[in-house]
Structure 1
Amino acid sequence: MRVIDAKTELYGLVGSGISYTLSPIIHNFIFEKIAHNAIYYPFDVPEEKFERIINALLELCKGLNVTIPYKERVVKYLHSIDITAEKVGAVNTVFGWRGYNTDYIAVKKLTSKFKNLVTDSVCYIFGAGGAAKAVAIALSELGCDTIVVINRTPERALKMVHLLRAKGFNAQVGNANCSTREFIVVNATPNPDFVPDDCAKNAGLVIDLVYRPVETSLVKKAMAKGVNVINGLEILVTQAVEAQRIWLGIEFPEEEVIRYLYAGKFIW
């Protein structure tokens, strides 16, 4: 049984409406496995209280993760941000008042295995939030020829396109034409069914950020046609392990975390 004492370090996640999160399960499992005297707690902070609470959390927590809707808002409270957070314009990990973006790190690491498929391809990004930006930048750096942003709110899609163009990437707002040349499909929305069936079945690579269920409808359609897939669980666990590397300098096996999540029926 873990004992909490005066030397126990506090880590946590700050967001709003985060009852679904698996981050405490993942990070507390890692702390226990490496016998590190720390706990990880989810801080569900309403938006009207964020300004009052964030500095206290940054002071109290040895390390912090940041999720929706605060990945961009947290930046002004930090002393600095590293190149990963600067590229994306958002922070999801904090250590020593410095911000990082392990979403970007995780996606680039996982997608680099399929660099031959990404190079010179069209990349259809469904969604225009912070995670979508991280994926779009990672894919662009790996050689994606054109990023096409598809979002129900055109204004948000256009804002993301402007950001990508400002960084020198070829991007546009549009619709998915999944019957033409080589392409990559990314679902960065909560609804995998937002992606048309022909996109799932004809892509060279499908990336779905949804992790429960692991085999979403999009992932199942892609796998049935032999399409390469990166699922949301892989991204979730990889970005969490990257956060541990930033906080503690350790390299923890992603496979061990995934086995634990399945064994505990935290995912399905």
Structure 2
Amino acid sequence: MFEINYSTKLLGIIGKNISYTLSPAIHNYSFQKLGINAVYLAFDLDETKFERLTSSLLELGKGFNVTIPYKEKIIKYLDKVDFTAEKIGAVNTIKEKEGYNTDYLALKTILNETGYYDSIIFGSGGAAKAISFAIAEEGFKVYIYDRKKEKGEKLVEYIKSKGYKAKVVENCSIEYGIIANATPDPSFIPEHCIKGNIAIDFVYTPVITTFLDKARKNGMKDVNGLKILVRQALEAQKIWFGKTVNEDEVVNFLYARKLVR
């Protein structure tokens, strides 16, 4: 473990009500393994503190991750936003006041590994947004299912405004290669909709959600939220330092420390 000193780089995660976050464990473990003199902290800010402290944090720190509810609000504090993050309209990784979206980068690699892109996405928040663009950029139409139809329609219109194909659906009348859950556990996904080849869930506590358990019982392969979390964290490390650790090693560390179940 490095001694914190004058040369120690400051990094962290900015969000609200983030006592659950595994990001400090992932990154501090990784920095130690990589021999990087850096410390990663959690900055749990309500809206008032966010407005007062964000500019100062960005001046002081080497880099940050950003989570709910600030992935869009953070953009006005940045000097530059890369092309993809600007198109998505959300930033979750910052290096020296430049914004990126490593949720998207992680999902691109995961989708490539599955070999499937025809998907239905349940939910319309930030996670749904990231996977929607990862799918749409491959030329596939994005199908959004949200209990609040107006929220789904808003996401669909945003995707279409960027030149991609998207549609709100209200049933599961056809089978998709990927069923992606971007809602809390237990999800609202109807039982008859859990059919296809791959089930993706963004929730990582628990690792095997109710949705993934049902998908497995229906013979589907799955990608859990822990894999997505770790993958996007490693993409952030590449942006900050140009190197990263082994993904399986990080996952094994989290299990060994009983930080996930």
TM-score by length of 2: 0.95
Which residue, out of 203, 211, 214, partners 1:210?
A: 203
Deviation of the 1:183 alpha carbon: 4.0
Q: Who is 2:174 aligned against?
A: 180
Deviation of the 1:138 alpha carbon: 0.5
Q: Who is 1:135 aligned against?
A: 131
Q: Who is 2:89 aligned against?
A: 89
Deviation of the 1:158 alpha carbon: 1.8
Q: Is the 8 A contact 1:148 1:175 kept in 2?
A: no
Amino acid at match of 2:154: K
Which residue, out of 213, 217, 225, partners 1:232?
A: 225
Provide structure 2 residue ranges, at least 5 long, that are not aligned to the other structure.
none
Inter-partner Cα distance in structure 2 for 1:151 and 1:61: 37
Amino acid at match of 2:201: D
Q: Who is 2:258 aligned against?
A: 265
Q: Is the 8 A contact 1:124 1:176 kept in 2?
A: no
* Aligned partner of residue 185 in structure 1, secondary structure: strand
Inter-partner Cα distance in structure 2 for 1:218 and 1:143: 27
Q: Is the 8 A contact 2:34 2:244 kept in 1?
A: no
Asked if 1:199 corresponds to 2:193, the answer is yes
Inter-partner Cα distance in structure 1 for 2:56 and 2:50: 10
Instruction: Please give the per-residue CA displacement for 1:63-119, whole angstroms capped at 9, x wherever unaligned.
Output: 11100000001111111111221221100000021100000000111111223x32x
Q: Is the 8 A contact 2:120 2:178 kept in 1?
A: yes
Q: Is the 8 A contact 1:192 1:218 kept in 2?
A: yes
Deviation of the 1:156 alpha carbon: 2.3
* Aligned partner of residue 193 in structure 1, secondary structure: coil
Deviation of the 1:51 alpha carbon: 1.4
Provide structure 1 residue ranges, at least 5 long, that are not aligned to the other structure.
none
* Aligned partner of residue 205 in structure 1, secondary structure: strand
Asked if 1:157 corresponds to 2:152, the answer is yes
Inter-partner Cα distance in structure 2 for 1:266 and 1:46: 25
Deviation of the 1:6 alpha carbon: 1.4
Deviation of the 1:127 alpha carbon: 1.2
Inter-partner Cα distance in structure 1 for 2:251 and 2:101: 21
Q: Who is 2:184 aligned against?
A: 190
Instruction: Please give the per-residue CA displacement for 1:208-244, whole angstroms capped at 9, x wherever unaligned.
Output: 0001111111111112222121110110000000000
- Between the two proteins, what is the percent identity of the paired residues? 48
Amino acid at match of 1:199: C
Q: Is the 8 A contact 1:124 1:148 kept in 2?
A: yes
Q: Kindly tell me the number of residue pairs found equivalent between the two proteins.
A: 261
Inter-partner Cα distance in structure 2 for 1:228 and 1:175: 24
TM-score by length of 1: 0.93
Q: Is the 8 A contact 1:150 1:175 kept in 2?
A: yes
Q: Who is 1:20 aligned against?
A: 20
